[in-house]
């Protein structure tokens, strides 16, 4: 009796989306850990400026390793549809806008423009709601970081 031979089926070696995301988190965590070395760490009672970035970097590394190890159940990286490109591209454009113009026009105005664009144009939120939320977030976050936490934020040409 002839033996049936099946072609050996090799496991598919596609990159999985969770493994790619985990690798990115791992690399960012390692990069932040490396760059943080110039900042003083401090102690647990009196943390220095390098303490919080190191803690976040360690979390990124841990979560990245977990994603890499558990990533075999996720979908392959290639077949993910770009149905959200209509949202991703404007968000990327807003990030570029903020990087280029925040120092010139200031934190509050740049955040007002970006949030107004994202809420009013991209998400098509009610105009009055978008305006109120944009003003509240741009002014409120400036007050929180600049006044309460004393994080110097750009004020722009007009000092606003």
Read off the pLDDT of residues 110-154 as tens digits, 9 standing for 90 and up: 999 999 999 988 888 898 999 999 999 999 999 998 888 888 888
Q: What is the pLDDT of residue 58?
A: 95
Per-domain boundaries in the chain: 17-73, 86-148
Average pLDDT over every residue of 12-39 = 88
Residue 110 near residue 97, CB atoms below 8 Å: yes
Look at the pTM and tell me if it is higher than 0.85: no
Handedness of CA 134, 82, 30, 68 (dihedral sign): positive
Tokens of 111: 């955040």
Res. 8 pLDDT band, cuts 50 70 90: low
| Degrees to nearest 5, angle at CA 66 with 64 and 71 | 95
């Amino acid at each position: 009796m002839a033996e049936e031979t099946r072609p050996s089926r090799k496991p598919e070696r596609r990159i999985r989306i969770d493994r790619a995301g985990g690798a990115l988190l791992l690399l960012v965590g390692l990069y932040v850990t490396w760059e943080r070395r110039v900042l003083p760490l401090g102690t647990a009672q009196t943390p220095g400026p390098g303490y919080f970035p190191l803690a976040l970097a360690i979390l990124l590394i841990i979560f990245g390793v977990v994603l890499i190890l558990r990533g075999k159940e996720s979908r392959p990286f290639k077949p993910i549809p770009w149905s959200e490109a209509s949202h991703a591209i404007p968000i990327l454009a807003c990030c570029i806008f903020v990087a280029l113009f925040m120092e010139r026009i200031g934190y509050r105005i740049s955040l007002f423009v970006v949030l107004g664009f994202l809420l009013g144009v991209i998400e098509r939120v009610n105009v009055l709601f978008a305006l109120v939320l944009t003003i509240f977030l741009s002014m409120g976050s400036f007050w929180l970081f600049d006044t309460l936490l004393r994080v110097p934020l750009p004020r722009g040409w007009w000092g606003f």
